[in-house]
Amino acid sequence: MKLEKARKAIDRIDEQIVDLLNQRAALAVEISHQKRKSNLPVFAPDRESKLFQRLKQLGKDGPLPQQALLAIYREVISASIALQAVQKIAFFGPEGTFTHQAALEQFGSSADYLPVRGIADVFREVERGRADYGVVPIENSTEGVVNHTLDMFPDTQVKICAEISLRVSQNLLSHERSTASVKKVYTHPQPLGQCRTWLDGNLPEVEIIEVSSTAQAAQLAAKHKRTAAIASRLAGKLNSLTLLARDIEDQPDNRTRFLVLGRHLSGPTGKDKTSIMLGIKDSVGALHRILKPFAGFNISLTSIESRPSRKGVWNYIFFIDCLGHVSDPKIKKVLTALKPLTSNLQVLGSYPRGGE
């Protein structure tokens, strides 16, 4: 096919795509009217999860990379939701953090983003209705769980309505032209733990300065000479920093899991996760007793963490993630079996599994 003929064919396809996108947008507006009548939330994680699964199947044999297809549709969905109501998303900021990046990946560019100073502030903004949803980190594959996020759940009514699994790429960013000119590195403790081997091998003599976030690290590196930051490429772009070294994390598949907080539970998709919080007293066999029902009903656990309850010495709160939705019969049976064994049993959320 000659170049001009191919371009004209693309023009015709573009006309069709624009027309179909407008038809899709009109249907999204109609759906919003029906949701208002039924008092349903605009954001439907279960519906989105099923849609993305379907898109993966539709595009699996085409030349367009799967991630590119999903990224395009993320923006299509984001724009469609904005036609219904612009969603306000609070996230653990400032702009340029990996939490900001995760929020963009989940909600797209048509949402309204609200960076807040701390994890507790994200919970408060959602609980008080000043934000529709919030995004907070919960776990890193290298450094483990984020205790501050867990500690917020006993004192809040917000629900987990989705999770995001983000490939975390740490980068050395600076105004300097080479690593030889760098004398100080700004970093948050989490990425510092993820990049220790690289730093020891490439910058053994530099001074490490810990700061409150990767975004702040990038901001400081932008202000001071002979310094660098460990941060995301998004933070580098926002602060006009040069990429001195990319992917400096010690583990090649370094991922962070984020939670999307809201005021509603998500519907089932068939590929779900349920998060449970429960209290038990320190006694012989206590942990065995609460785990036994999961084994008895063949429920797989993906995570179990404990935190002091702060309501008595040697009393603990356990956070358990298991596969399945709270509406599944087997999960219902597990919860029934757990009630007499625990105090403060609470379902924090049932939601589509991230990365599925």
Whether CATH 3.30.70.260 fits 272-352: yes
Answering whether pTM is above 0.85, one says yes
Residue pair 259/163 in contact (Cβ under 8 Å)? The answer is yes
Tell me whether residue 256 is one of the annotated catalytic residues: yes
Q: What superfamily in CATH does domain 88-168+255-262 come from?
A: Periplasmic binding protein-like II (3.40.190.10)
Among 92, 107, 153, 258, the active-site one is 258
Is 283 a residue whose pLDDT tops 80? no
Which of the four pLDDT bands, split at 50, 70 and 90, describes residue 281? confident
Which of the four pLDDT bands, split at 50, 70 and 90, describes residue 217? very high
Among 99, 187, 214, 256, the active-site one is 256
Distance CA 261, CA 267 (A): 15
pLDDT given for residue 82 in this prediction: 94
Residue pair 138/146 in contact (Cβ under 8 Å)? The answer is yes
88-168+255-262 and 174-245 share one CATH topology?
yes
Q: Lowest-pLDDT range, 141-145, 225-229, 342-346? A: 141-145
Residue 165 CA from chain centroid, whole number? 6
Is 264 a residue whose pLDDT tops 80? yes
Residue range 14-69, pLDDT digits in tens: 999 999 999 999 999 999 999 989 888 999 999 999 999 999 999 999 999 999 99
Distance CA 208, CA 197 (A): 14
Residue whose C-alpha is closest to residue 141's, from 11, 276, 258, 31: 258
Tell me whether residue 258 is one of the annotated catalytic residues: yes
Share the mean pLDDT of the chain.
Answer: 93
CATH of domain 174-245: 3.40.190.10
Residue type for position 200: D
Distance CA 335, CA 325 (A): 12
Residue pair 90/125 in contact (Cβ under 8 Å)? The answer is yes
Averaged pLDDT, 192-218: 94
Averaged pLDDT, 163-188: 94
Distance CA 227, CA 222 (A): 8
Q: What does the DSSP 8-state code read for residue 84?
A: H
Domain locations in the chain as residue ranges: 15-84, 88-168+255-262, 174-245, 272-352
In CATH terms, the fold of domain 15-84 is Chorismate Mutase Domain, subunit A (1.20.59)
Residue range 69-119, pLDDT digits in tens: 999 999 999 999 999 999 999 999 889 889 999 999 999 999 999 999 999
